[in-house]
Amino acid sequence: MKVLRAYRKPESLTDVKFRYCPGCGHGIIARLVAEVVDELGIRERTVGVAPVGCAVFVEEYFNFDMVGAAHGRVCPVATGLKRVLPDHVILGYQGDGGLAAIGLAEVVHAAARGERVTVIYVNNAVYGMTRGQMAPTTLLGQRTTTTPSGRNPRRDGFPLKVCELLAGLEGTAYMARGTVTSPRNVRTLKRYIERAIRTQMEDRGFSLVEVLSPCPSNWHMKPLEAIAWVEERMVPFYGLGEVKT
Amino acid sequence: MGERTLMKGNEVLGEAAVRAGCRFYFGYPITPQNELTAYMAKRMDEVGGVFLQSESELAAINMIYGASAAGARAMTSSSGPGISLMQEGISYLAGAELPCVIVNVMRGGPGLGNIAPSQGDYFQATRGGGHGDYRTIVLAPYRVQEMADLTTLAFYLADKYRTPVVVLVDAVLGQMMEPVEFKEPDLPPLPPKDWAVGYMMGRPKRLVTSLYLAPGALERHNLHLKEKYERIEREEVRWEGVCLEDAEVVLVAYGTSARVCLGAVMRGRSEGRRIGLLRPITLWPFPWKVLRKVAEKVKAILVVEMSLGQLMEDVRLAVEGRCPVRLLGRPGGGVPTVREVSEKVEEMSDEGVESL
């Protein structure tokens, strides 16, 4: 009997088992990145940068060279790598705490320099690893351990839309926001990731893909509820699609 | 080059780095090291290297981290306030065992302080400064020629031990012009960087990180680092002694303070005083053993520093009560004079060493 293999692990993933919480979006996103790296045939000339927080796990999962950076410092580390390895693809992988809070200056300047790197930016509206504090992306009214009565704009300010913030910079060449809530959205997201990496390979400038991603553990929801929350709360606020091409 | 040229200290640091094969410089402006940044901008263009003015010292040290992870010789430079911002990155570099050279042209502190010469960052440099259990090699030149020689050595030691190396100078040395000759270094070959990322070409993936989450993994890593640091302490201690053989009072100083002390030794000797100088060249590893031996023979030690007892702490740790240790410290931009040092030595002699 002929066996048709419908699913195989991308070569760009190691054999280390994912340790993400059930229903977490990171697993899908990491796999998509690995698939794209495989399909572009760039695994052996890709270097990934993983920071601190749940985003750090990919340093074990990706089967290409990886560098672990400090919290929020993915972009300068990626810059250093790219300047030494200009013919390589440099892939940053950051969460919203690292990118939009502590590393915001770094991402803005990497973008303004038009640094030829690609950042996959996972926005789950909360700090995951540290157990659910308010992130710069936390929605108004959203309850977290540090906004127990909900994010109040008078006290906590407003959520940050990173794609739109960076899109105005001349150095950015590709900005898109996708999500992982349905097979269709996953396919679209994969296309964004591929375009972002191609943007780097074509030497066009800084590229970033933001992913609206569920965090059931810290949202205190079941996985399906978390997916619904992304659709019903995050997508209307942040919007989906290519912001800059 | 093989010939002597007149150059400013800050620029010599840059030229020596370029000659050591450094092709990646990342930095942020701060006085009193700006000549170095400007020099690197010009020179990196000439040699096809990369000069990048970062948005902050935080970014600069992390660009170094990336460049070093890819196997390149990389350097940054700054002064106290900027070096403070770099401490996070230095800790990560030490943890991930990445080589690099960090120049600190010290200015007055704490806080914004001033832009005058100082040695107030001694603790910061020799105690690590960032979080966690680590050390950085600290080289302290005292004249422009040595700034060239030690910068060459800094890159070598960084690669040899896979560790950040700090070149610690003060604003006087940075701004000073002296003749310098860039010598061809005669150093043993280094092992290949078989840990650097990029160009996989069939080999398994490499991971450069300071994260060790598995139970016991970080303790093992720290013990591995300790072993490395102990090797550095055995093999890399550098110091210079002047008139130590028969000295009754020994001055201990580095950098600009050591230049002043050299003058005081000359003056003292011409007046028949038995005075000597011990000048640590590596501030870490500190010349503990030699200082201990000196302490057994002399009547007293005078530490001269442009800070208030930071170097003296290491001297006391080395001396362990074998002889009295006194301090002549000038903080916040004050530079000790030969007269001050001489008078302090006289005062110590007059007091009678027994009472010291």
Total domain count, chain B = 2
Same domain, B190 and B247: no
The two structure tokens encoding residue A84: 């030494």
For residues B77 and B27, what is the distance between their CA atoms, to the nearest angstrom?
A: 6
In a domain, A58, yes or no: yes
| pLDDT(B17) > 90 | yes
CATH of the domain at A210: 3.40.50.970
Query: Could you say which of B235, B257, B292 is where a domain stops?
Result: B235
DSSP state letter for A45: G
pLDDT 10s digits, B255-293: 999 999 999 999 999 999 999 999 999 999 999 999 999
Same domain, B75 and B195: yes
pLDDT 10s digits, B130-143: 999 999 999 999 99
Task: Kindly determine whether residue B92 and residue A85, on different chains, have CB atoms separated by under 8 Å.
Answer: no
Ramachandran assignment for B224, one of left (phi > 0), alpha (psi -120 to 50 degrees), beta (any other): alpha
CB B65 within 8 A of CB B21: no
Average pLDDT (B173-182) is 97
Task: Kindly determine whether residue A45 and residue B50, on different chains, have CB atoms separated by under 8 Å.
Answer: no
pLDDT range class, residue A89, cuts 50, 70, 90: very high
Same domain, B164 and B269: no
Distances (CA, A) of A45 to A63, A66, A237, B192, B197: 11, 11, 37, 20, 9
Chains A, B: CB contacts within 8 A come to 131
Question: Could you tell me the pTM of the whole model?
Answer: 0.96
CATH of the domain at B108: 3.40.50.970
Identify the closest residue of chain A to B64 by CA–CA distance.
Answer: A80
Q: Which of A19, A38, A49, A67 to mutate to test the interface with B (most CBs of B within 10 A)?
A: A67
Total domain count, chain A = 1
pLDDT 10s digits, B93-147: 999 999 999 999 999 999 999 999 999 999 999 998 899 999 999 999 999 999 9
Task: Kindly determine whether residue B197 and residue A73, on different chains, have CB atoms separated by under 8 Å.
Answer: no
ipTM of the complex: 0.96
pLDDT range class, residue A6, cuts 50, 70, 90: confident
Q: Which of B64, B65, B93 to mutate to test the interface with A (most CBs of A within 10 A)?
A: B65
Average pLDDT, chain B: 96
In a domain, A74, yes or no: yes
Query: Could you say which of B235, B260, B276 is where a domain stops?
Result: B235
Query: Could you say which of B220, B235, B250 is where a domain stops?
Result: B235
**SS3 state at B280:** strand
Q: Which residues of B touch A76 (CB under 8 A)?
A: 54, 58-60, 62-63, 65-66
What confidence score (pLDDT) does residue B198 get?
98
Structural domain of B55? 4-235
Same domain, B181 and B251: no
pLDDT 10s digits, A173-186: 999 999 999 999 99
Structural domain of A194? 26-244
Q: Which residues of B touch A108 (CB under 8 A)?
A: 55
pLDDT range class, residue A2, cuts 50, 70, 90: confident
In a domain, A162, yes or no: yes
Same domain, B135 and B79: yes
Q: Which residues of B touch A10 (CB under 8 A)?
A: none
Q: Which residues of A touch B211 (CB under 8 A)?
A: 56, 59, 68
pLDDT 10s digits, A127-149: 999 999 999 999 999 999 999 99
pLDDT range class, residue B350, cuts 50, 70, 90: confident
At B266, which helix (H) or strand (E)? helix B255-270
Q: Which residues of A touch B63 (CB under 8 A)?
A: 76-77, 79-80, 83
